[in-house]
Structure 1
Amino acid sequence: MGISNILEPIQIGSMTLRNRVLMGSMHVGFEKLEDGVERLAAFYAERARGEVGLIVTGGAAVCQEGGMGDQYCNVYMDEHIEPLRVITAAVHEAEGKIALQLFHAGRYTNQDATGVESVAPSALQAPINRHKPREMNATDIERTIQSFADGAVRAKKAGFDAVEIMGSEGYLINQFLSPVTNKREDEWGGDFTRRARFGVEVSKRVRAAVGPDFPVIFRMSGLDLVPDSTTMEETLQFAVLIEQAGVSALNVGIGWHESKVPTIAMMVPRGAYVWVAQQVKEAVKIPVIASNRINDLRQAEAIIQEGRSDMVSMARPLLADSQIVRKSREGLFDEVNTCIACNQACLDHIFDGKIASCMVNPVVGREKEWALIPAEVSKKVAVVGAGPAGLEAARVLAERGHQVVIFEKQNQVGGQLNYARQVPGKEEFNETLRYYRAQLDKLGVEVRLETAATADSLSDEGFEEVVVATGVIPRRPEIPGVDLPHVVSYDRVFEKQAKVGRRVAIVGAGGIACDLSHLLVQDQVVSPQSAQYLLEYRILDAKAVHHLQQSGRKVYMLRRGKHVGTGLGKTTRWAVLANLKRHGVEMVTQIDYKEITAEGVIIRNQEEEQLVQADTVIIAAGATSNDSLYHALQGSLPVHLIGGAKEAGELDAKRAIYEGAAVGRAI
């Protein structure tokens, strides 16, 4: 497929961009590190070399009380200009363009980090913050509006090509606009016009400060996804007001951080919110940028071609592959390391106060020290196991010039990624496997499927080093009755080697058990296409179709401990568990297992015994490392242990790929 429309230049104010792909703003947290500015510069320059049209930085605080602390990006003092120049110089040297995002978190601010009291339109505590903000007075409001303008001037002095005003995601400007967070009755709150005033005044003041030619983008909330918040009609009115205030383009954001609706997780269909940008585009004349779950330039091409927006924003896809635009321009779509929206190393890290990286591309944040250097001596290296750890190790080793052979006892590569990709809402894992297959083929890695490697066979074949990535063995707990014929291990279910009945008890309630539950309750009787047909021709109503789309199974997840879904990411766990509850999965915690019988599982719950009836009992109670080959090779060959074989984490692809990348650079 050609992608000519997305690659067309576009004018944003006085700025011409080489294509219509914008790298959306992300907090990556590199500023915390001693050489943070240099790391940020290297990170953004790498994306500029990948030919992205415009980069937008993570939010830069326009005043101390609206930021994320001294360690993060700030633009509220003149002394912040020089460090920012390091970033713009690196991006311009790489022939890219970059905008600084002007940011104020309002009631989302962590005052423990900033050291000052947080402020907001009204003194209402956010559900995701333990501090209640102070209501802003007239002086605070005037000073903050001016702070946005002063920040824009500093950005211009630091060499940025544009600024983006952050008015989305439930931050300060968004808080002024929404009746949920703005309960004021003065000229800054009440009816829509007064609630909109703060965002409009910020836009006008920024435009006046930077002059008529400097590009100013406004990141607006297209959909708050918070009950009783701004209506769509008000949103479109606001877009017109912001256009009239002199901004050059509108970047349409979706959802607040406190929203109970997933907006960027893997379970969200690709491009699910483009319709919002399309409505904004129909209301204004300036360029409009669509965002959220756009991770393929062919998908972006269709959006532009159909006139649904003027540009697309890709944030995390540029973490997963800094070269996505260049590769796509060259038609190398199979070589793109696609963002699968797992959130595990990006958002989860940031919300845990760590540095952001990427599960499928751990080079993120390590651009300086992990530059790929060709091997001084090419060696013959065996990689045993083709799960995520082994695949990444083989890819990096081959790219550095080693002769690599993969041994995999199954009939396909992927290891436990082949389990994950079967789960409804996790189909994106297919993209990771497609990427690895394309890389192994391109780099000439020999893959031997259905072949078990032994210490003797590896020695006989003359391998100089071995990477053991043999994964895990499912753990079988000592429960009376565990050997009964209707008791099966989770791997046999995923591999379609076990029939599963209508009533299911899962022993275990971690990430694997959650995946299994999704798979079992959403094992569809009709396909989405069939469902559409049945609805369109009114053969069945929506309720009947919904009933057909469920498997009809009753699933119980059992756990000795208190919490379900441990090991799931901080930013996605709530959505996963809510989805399971919607599908009727019962989670029974803080129990002891007494016995498995032909009728089900007898558990002890607060000194009472009860039978959880089940036709099938599935064991998903963790795993142990499959490290026997590693021990057998000790003393005969240099051997490296990675992934689940090293530590039996629960489907921990993030650690596995990281360890594969590290060992690939070490040999």
Structure 2
Amino acid sequence: MNAAIFKYNYLIAISMDLFGSATIGSLSVPNRGVFRPVRTRFVDDSRPTEALAAHLGARAAGGAGLVVGPAEMLVHPSASGSAFVNAYDDDAIPALRSVVDTVHEHDAKIIGQLTHTGAESRGDWEMQPQLAPSASPSDAAYEMPKTMTRDDIEAVLSGFGDAAANLDAASFDGVELTAGPFSVLRQFLSPRYNARDDEYGGDWVARSRFVNEAIDAVDDRIDGPVGLHLSLAELEYGGYEFDDVPQILDALSGFDYLSCTVGSHATYNQTHAGVSAEAPNLIDPIATVADAIDVPVIGRLPFTTVDDADALFDAGAEFVGFTRQLLADAETLAKATDGEHYNRCIQCNQKCLEAVYGHAHGGHVECVVNPRTGRESELPALGDIDDAALPQEVLVVGGGPAGLRFAAVAARRGHDVTLREASDSLGGQLGLAAQGPLAPFERAAEDLEAAVHDTGVTVELESPVSADDVDPSWDAVVVATGATRPDTSKRFEGNVVNAFDVLEGAEVGEDVLLFDENRWVITVQTGLELLGRGASVEMVSSDHYPAFRTEQPNLPGFVAALQAQGAAFTGNRVVDAVDADGTAILRNTLTGDTESREPETVVVAGRRQADESLYLELDERRDDVYRIGDAVSPRKLDRAYYDGELLARRL
């Protein structure tokens, strides 16, 4: 790809409205770009940490005029959640003030978000029941909640006021109440959750009563604006829908701005639509909202890019809310203002959601394509790191994600970097991965390639490297040779095809048994590819579903797509053998029983191994050789970025 052409196409004209100042009530905001709240788990003893302050401050430094957060701070002890800030606790004020000060240092404004989780959490840590409008459990939690009494309602309303007063004491510029996911406010609005027969249940006016009283409780305790974050549809069976929005808004009152979202905790795979789910269309509902109210609207899509700003403004929004894009590049808005290249979110949900909701990867927010996200207090912004004290001539072997990330960051620090790639293109496994449901991964490949061109890295394609090719004159050698594909020939006889080869077009029969040893998304890609060719596919997995280790925000959508196209799932099985005649022997992992299949073709989605031979040979010859990414061990894409960037930062 021609880097100049790519950059020209990528940096399309953006409406200047996004970068112009605006107001919410009496609050002046430097621009219309908003960093929306995202759960981080940067909480210690129910108080925000320095890491949370640095995380939000980085988005303010990167150009967001308004930061909303920390996300979902609790208003009362009856709400549960170890990863939340207890905003009702006076002892939290000093730590909250530190968050505010960090954002204000960058001339941005900050509005704190309050919630009560209601039926969408669980109280097993606190050993308490969950409060809700009615005894209607969330599909995201297994507990039957307690129907709120009048005393419960009064206590929670008082909690909203007390928490808001604490935020005001911490110098927040305003307060936002969330009636989105994780919110008892939305649950009171919902026919799915609210079956009350008193003044808080029934028609829209009655179900809105609790929300309006909470807004009034907050408004009475602060001087700044009071916002409402509202799901425009729950996307749940029995919940309210987009068509109900005009009646809901007609019943709500007292808020100074409305922030638009969608879904509930049970439908967050659609709320945060990634690579497996089609995002709900919010443009028309946002237009409906803007026509119905006379206060500013913060519009967002399930995945918002800078390029979406004009459509949101045309729909009537006055501010544009970003989440995942500002995780992928905290400086997106500042760079877009100056017409500079920024790295784009690839919608993978691997770190921003799975790390938080799935309690994986260390348990706090991160980003695949931005190693600094979640580590802002540890790693300075790339623009702030010092040039290398001693610039070196560095050879990078391998043009996959790890090699590209290292090369660009090292060159930015002043090293003279040459990258040699054996094939005729850059990107490594990204070229194979970025197809089917993972098509957004192509953005990563494009951004990595643009970065090496922008930083002046010398790129030599079709240049395989052996140990004898590495001249002693190089100051350092970085091996990023990736991983080798699984070899099934030593384990199986018969007609067995590698899943990686299928994705490159290898032919198979019309009756396929797909054995999932990988347990991740390549199995889904391969299954969808085979189904798209018209094959009959039985997917065999040692788990309940194929690709079971795929991120939970993505897995339901993938399973639905496979089932919709007719894939058959056989769980708790492994393929022990494939005989010369093609007969596959399956073993039940729970009972040990065996059974056989006679497909036309067996396809195996296996696991790769590090291609470490070059590194090991060079390591015996010289001291200044390093390896990164899959050449160390095959892992997910985030490790390639992390390995490459961390080495470049310290070299």
Give the TM-score, by structure 1 length: 0.88
Q: 1:228 to 1:408 in 2, by over 3 A?
A: same
Alignment gaps of 5+ in structure 1: 523-550
In the alignment, what sits opposite 1:252? 260
Distance, in Å, in 1 between the alignment partners of 2:366 and 2:268 is 25
In the alignment, what sits opposite 1:431? 443
Distance, in Å, in 2 between the alignment partners of 1:351 and 1:480 is 38
Paired residues for 1:226-265 under 5 Å: 226-242=236-252, 245-259=253-267, 262-264=270-272, 265=274
CA deviations over 1:598-650 (Å, ceiling 9, x no partner): 66745466746433423x4433211111111111111322222222221233x
In the alignment, what sits opposite 1:658? 642
Answer yes or no: is the 8 Å Cα contact 2:398–2:480 preserved in 1: yes
Query: Does 1:356 find its partner at 2:365?
Result: yes
Query: Does 1:222 find its partner at 2:220?
Result: no
Distance, in Å, in 2 between the alignment partners of 1:378 and 1:271 is 49
Distance, in Å, in 2 between the alignment partners of 1:35 and 1:435 is 37
Query: Structure 2: which amino acid aligns with 1:336?
Result: Y
Answer yes or no: is the 8 Å Cα contact 1:479–1:594 preserved in 2: no
Query: Structure 1: which amino acid aligns with 2:379?
Result: W
Query: Does 1:300 find its partner at 2:309?
Result: yes
Answer yes or no: is the 8 Å Cα contact 2:270–2:279 preserved in 1: no
Deviation, 1:18, is: 2.4
Distance, in Å, in 2 between the alignment partners of 1:560 and 1:43 is 39
In the alignment, what sits opposite 1:273? 282
Distance, in Å, in 2 between the alignment partners of 1:309 and 1:35 is 33
Q: 2:386 aligns with which of 373, 376, 398?
A: 373
Q: 1:92 to 1:170 in 2, by over 3 A?
A: closer
Deviation, 1:114, is: 4.3
Distance, in Å, in 1 between the alignment partners of 2:237 and 2:182 is 13
Answer yes or no: is the 8 Å Cα contact 1:595–1:602 preserved in 2: yes
Query: Structure 2: which amino acid aligns with 1:588?
Result: T
Q: 1:568 aligns with which of 536, 545, 550?
A: 550
Query: Structure 1: which amino acid aligns with 2:538?
Result: Y
Q: 1:464 to 1:35 in 2, by over 3 A?
A: farther
Q: 2:578 aligns with which of 579, 585, 595?
A: 595
CA deviations over 1:306-363 (Å, ceiling 9, x no partner): 234222211111111111111111122xx21111221111111111331111111110
Query: Does 1:175 find its partner at 2:187?
Result: yes
CA deviations over 1:407-431 (Å, ceiling 9, x no partner): 22222111111122112x3221121
CA deviations over 1:428-477 (Å, ceiling 9, x no partner): 112111211111011111122222122221234x2222222211112223
Q: 1:471 aligns with which of 476, 482, 489?
A: 482
CA deviations over 1:368-399 (Å, ceiling 9, x no partner): 22123322211122222222222222222222
Distance, in Å, in 2 between the alignment partners of 1:184 and 1:320 is 43
Distance, in Å, in 2 between the alignment partners of 1:403 and 1:271 is 46
Distance, in Å, in 1 between the alignment partners of 2:65 and 2:127 is 37
Q: 1:112 to 1:611 in 2, by over 3 A?
A: closer
Distance, in Å, in 1 between the alignment partners of 2:302 and 2:508 is 34
In the alignment, what sits opposite 2:6? none
Paired residues for 1:513-524 under 5 Å: 513-522=523-532
Q: 1:407 to 1:270 in 2, by over 3 A?
A: farther
In the alignment, what sits opposite 1:312? 320
Deviation, 1:141, is: 0.3
In the alignment, what sits opposite 2:8? none
How many residue pairs match? The answer is 623
CA deviations over 1:34-58 (Å, ceiling 9, x no partner): 9953222222222112111211111
Distance, in Å, in 1 between the alignment partners of 2:308 and 2:115 is 30
Q: 1:122 to 1:33 in 2, by over 3 A?
A: closer
Paired residues for 1:281-292 under 5 Å: 281-292=290-301
In the alignment, what sits opposite 1:387? 400
Q: 1:598 to 1:206 in 2, by over 3 A?
A: same
Query: Structure 1: which amino acid aligns with 2:330?
Result: S
Paired residues for 1:325-364 under 5 Å: 325-332=333-340, 335-353=341-359, 354-364=363-373
In the alignment, what sits opposite 2:559? 577
Q: 1:151 to 1:379 in 2, by over 3 A?
A: same
In the alignment, what sits opposite 2:219? 207
1:488 partner SS = strand
In the alignment, what sits opposite 1:10? 22
Query: Structure 2: which amino acid aligns with 1:647?
Result: S
Q: 1:629 aligns with which of 614, 634, 639?
A: 614
Answer yes or no: is the 8 Å Cα contact 1:226–1:260 preserved in 2: no
Distance, in Å, in 2 between the alignment partners of 1:392 and 1:113 is 41
Distance, in Å, in 1 between the alignment partners of 2:523 and 2:149 is 51
CA deviations over 1:9-29 (Å, ceiling 9, x no partner): 222111122222211111111
Q: 1:140 to 1:607 in 2, by over 3 A?
A: closer
Distance, in Å, in 1 between the alignment partners of 2:220 and 2:41 is 31
CA deviations over 1:67-110 (Å, ceiling 9, x no partner): 423x6322102222121111111111111111100111112234
In the alignment, what sits opposite 1:547? none
Answer yes or no: is the 8 Å Cα contact 2:515–2:603 preserved in 1: yes
Distance, in Å, in 1 between the alignment partners of 2:48 and 2:295 is 35
1:309 partner SS = coil
Query: Structure 2: which amino acid aligns with 1:584?
Result: G
Share of identical aligned residues, percent? 29
Deviation, 1:563, is: 4.7
CA RMSD of aligned residues (A): 2.4
In the alignment, what sits opposite 1:611? 597
Answer yes or no: is the 8 Å Cα contact 1:221–1:235 preserved in 2: no
Query: Structure 2: which amino acid aligns with 1:288?
Result: V
CA deviations over 1:126-185 (Å, ceiling 9, x no partner): 332243332211011011112112222221221111211011115211111112112222
Q: 1:592 to 1:37 in 2, by over 3 A?
A: closer
Give the TM-score, by structure 2 length: 0.90
Query: Structure 2: which amino acid aligns with 1:553?
Result: A
In the alignment, what sits opposite 1:645? 631
CA deviations over 1:194-235 (Å, ceiling 9, x no partner): 222111211122223325xx2111001101000111243433
Distance, in Å, in 1 between the alignment partners of 2:626 and 2:84 is 37
Q: 1:495 to 1:277 in 2, by over 3 A?
A: same
Query: Structure 2: which amino acid aligns with 1:289?
Result: I
Deviation, 1:287, is: 1.7
Answer yes or no: is the 8 Å Cα contact 1:167–1:219 preserved in 2: yes
2:31 partner SS = coil
Query: Structure 1: which amino acid aligns with 2:350?
Result: Q
Answer yes or no: is the 8 Å Cα contact 1:644–1:656 preserved in 2: yes
Deviation, 1:260, is: 8.0
Answer yes or no: is the 8 Å Cα contact 1:250–1:289 preserved in 2: yes
Answer yes or no: is the 8 Å Cα contact 2:395–2:419 preserved in 1: yes
Answer yes or no: is the 8 Å Cα contact 2:400–2:430 preserved in 1: yes
In the alignment, what sits opposite 2:123? 111
CA deviations over 1:524-567 (Å, ceiling 9, x no partner): xxxxxxxxxxxxxxxxxxxxxxxxxxx43322323355552133
Answer yes or no: is the 8 Å Cα contact 2:516–2:547 preserved in 1: no
Answer yes or no: is the 8 Å Cα contact 1:474–1:620 preserved in 2: no
2:134 partner SS = coil
1:272 partner SS = coil
Answer yes or no: is the 8 Å Cα contact 2:270–2:302 preserved in 1: no
Alignment gaps of 5+ in structure 2: 1-12
Q: 1:608 to 1:68 in 2, by over 3 A?
A: closer
Answer yes or no: is the 8 Å Cα contact 1:295–1:339 preserved in 2: no
In the alignment, what sits opposite 1:39? 51
Paired residues for 1:399-410 under 5 Å: 399-410=412-423
Answer yes or no: is the 8 Å Cα contact 2:269–2:277 preserved in 1: no
